[in-house]
Amino acid sequence: MHPEPTALPVAGPAWLAETRRALADLGLPPHWPEESVEAPGLRTSRLADCALRQLAELGLRPDHLLPCTEGGVRFAFSRQGRHAEIEFLNGGEVIATCSSAAGEAPRNWLVSPGGTGFESTFNTIQAFLGA
């Protein structure tokens, strides 16, 4: 008899695989809200997936994955009255926002896609959220 095959360990936290599936399904009906809103393109989806893996390394899980009205996908985070978003737009732009319920003006900035731009942005969001 041959021994039963064992499952390979999943790299990263348990939520990562589920969140990556949700991202892959985001552009498909019934998850997409309107025909007038452009679903994430392949390049946008791949960039967002890469970002998810980097977020997992930091232990920073998005609370929501949402469509962007400009076309693309948004990761939303919320902790103790503080909110942050990262938008991956089909035009190639990545925009981050931090805001709080305390009435402070929201902070928005363009993110340079890739290693250090993402890393800096994710660390800023993590510190802002107090995660």
Q: Looking at residue 69, what is its pLDDT?
A: 81
Burial 72-98 (b: 16+ CB within 10 A, else e): bbbbebeeeebbbbbbbbbeeebbbbb
Cβ 78 vs Cβ 63: under 8 Å: yes
Stated length of the chain: 131
Query: In the prediction, which pLDDT does 86 show?
Result: 95
pLDDT at 6: 34
Ordered by start, the domain boundaries in the chain are 39-129
* C-alpha span between 14 and 18 (Å, rounded): 8
Please give the chain's pLDDT, 131 residues, in tens.
Answer: 433 433 334 456 778 777 777 777 665 445 555 566 777 888 998 899 889 989 998 899 999 988 888 889 999 999 989 999 999 999 999 999 999 977 778 899 999 876 688 889 999 999 999 85
Does residue 30 have a cis bond before it (omega within 30 degrees)?
A: yes
User: Which ranges of the chain would DSSP assign to H, the alpha helix?
Assistant: 14-25, 42-58, 115-129
- Residues in Cβ contact with 28 at an 8 Å cutoff, skipping those fewer than 6 apart: 39
